[in-house]
Amino acid sequence: KVYESISNGNFPLILGGDHSLGLGSIAGASKSIKNLGVVWIDAHGDINTDITSPTGNIHGMPLAASFGIGHEALVNVYENRVKIKEENVFHIAGRDLDEGEVELIKGSKGQFYTMDKVKKLGIKNVVKDMLNYFKNKVDAVHVSFDLDSIDSLFAPGTGTPVKDGLSVEDAKYILESLALSGMMCSLDIVELNPVLDKDNKTLDIAMYLIKNTLSKLKYGLENKLTA
């Protein structure tokens, strides 16, 4: 569906639910767009493999599998190919990383702006770095936004909440900057769990972010589609 949507000149918004769905979004988007960048905004690395994962949760593996690391059933989901280049990954807001993930990040060609780094640089500089990084490097960018990237104080309605995260305004700024850049071709908003939410706080944030981001969307995929 993501492939069809982008190929038809539309903008897919994918809602979840378990972040393993990002595997599918990236698989579809990378079929439409040859050289796809990915922004992954998340408290967790999501770069575990079946070997490094302490829990075995597939929602902790989709980013690694998308750049070709992990179980072959995940790497080859939808099509037998690696979906994105590792250096086309820009991860923001990591602060609950597993040992195997930290090792992978150390030697990674991807960009990992942990929460420590975000606090040190300030959100404006992070966004500036991100847009500069992708400029002239990729054809378009898929954005995968995990609501647990936001501080658990504001967004409790998620499966694995983590404190000391992004403010809602930080998240809004990252997403609207990507929308305005004209580079964003598709967006996941994931890990909303209404059962765990308190007074619909997290739902309200998700709706606020979606409305604002889509209202700023500039779409410029001319000549970038594979078909």
By the criterion CB under 5 A, which residues form the site for Mn ion? 19, 42, 46, 146
- Name the residue nearer to Mn ion (CB basis): 42 or 176: 42
- Name the residue nearer to Mn ion (CB basis): 130 or 221: 130
Least distance in angstroms from the C-beta of 57 to Mn ion: 10
Least distance in angstroms from the C-beta of 42 to Mn ion: 4
Least distance in angstroms from the C-beta of 196 to Mn ion: 15
Residues 84 and 14: their CA atoms lie apart, in Å, by 19
- Name the residue nearer to Mn ion (CB basis): 185 or 192: 192
Burial class of residue 175 (count of CB atoms within 10 Å of its CB; 0-12, 13-18, 19+): buried
Residues 26 and 179: their CA atoms lie apart, in Å, by 18
List the Cα angle 88/22/121 in 5-degree steps.
50
The alpha-carbon radius of gyration of the chain (Å, integer) is: 16
| Other CB atoms within 10 Å distance of the CB of residue 187 | 25
Least distance in angstroms from the C-beta of 20 to Mn ion: 9
- Name the residue nearer to Mn ion (CB basis): 168 or 225: 168
Q: Are strands 111-113 and 140-146 parallel, antiparallel or unpaired?
A: unpaired
Q: Which sequence positions are flagged as catalytic?
A: 19, 42, 44, 46, 59, 146, 148, 191
Nearest one of 114, 113, 118, 137 to 35, comparing CA atoms: 137
